Amino acid sequence: MRGKFISFEGPEGGGKSTHAAALADALRAEGKIVLLTREPGGTRLAELIRALVREELEDPPVTRSEVLLFLAARAQLVANAIKPALARGEWVICDRFADSTFAYQGYGRGIDVQLLKDLNEFATEGLVPDMTILLDVPPEVSRERIAERQKATATSADRIEAAGEAFHRRLRDGFLALAKAEPERFAVIDSSGAPADVDKAILEAVRGR
């Protein structure tokens, strides 16, 4: 039996990594085998690409290069990690997937979303998550959380976090538009509340599907 594939999406500061890990722990406690991974990343090559697209470089990727780098990382992750796990009957939880490309490079950077979907179809061989959890946060909450994280880790904003307020508003609007277009796949959850309450809402949404 094929496993289940759940992706986590949303604006910066939504708590995707934290809540994805919490869901993985909850499913493992129920006896399920879970692969927890992330995008870009999850394989050695994909992690190297992650460093390229997030760092401030003297020669930063132009928008088209950025798209192709993300797609290359995704193709590697799908072929070498996600599909094999699903074939074994495991559950796969991924911190970001294709909808991030549609939101960031489409709605955020202005590339035609249908073109991005066509390119993604090639990169993933048509793989679509069984369920996508969209952790939604208002832009002001996102900014506060990013600032808190940078202070706690003594780091500065990466290239994407520093893209500007207008970009991040388009990004959030894009995610909400994607969710509205596919309500059967998306579960939109307000992640501005207490983490325990968000985790509970996520688990209830997964069980409901």
* Boundaries of every domain in the chain: 5-208
Residues 26/34, Cβ–Cβ less than 8 Å: no
Burial 133-165 (b: 16+ CB within 10 A, else e): bbbbbebebbbebbeeeeeeeeeeeeeebebee
Q: In this predicted structure, what is the pLDDT of residue 13?
A: 84
Residues in the chain with pLDDT values less than 70: 142, 145-147, 149-163
| CATH code matching the domain that covers 5-208, chosen among 3.10.129.10, 3.30.70.600, 3.40.50.300, 3.40.50.1370 | 3.40.50.300
* pLDDT digits 0-9 by tens, 112-157: 999 999 999 999 999 999 999 999 998 777 677 666 766 666 665 5
pLDDT of 119: 98
Task: Check residue 12 and give its pLDDT.
Answer: 86
Helix then strand then coil, % of the chain, to nearest 5: 55, 10, 30
The half-sphere exposure of 29 on its side-chain side, counting CA atoms within 13 A, is 7
**pTM beyond 0.85, yes or no:** yes
pLDDT of residue 154: 65
Query: What pLDDT was estimated at residue 75?
Result: 98
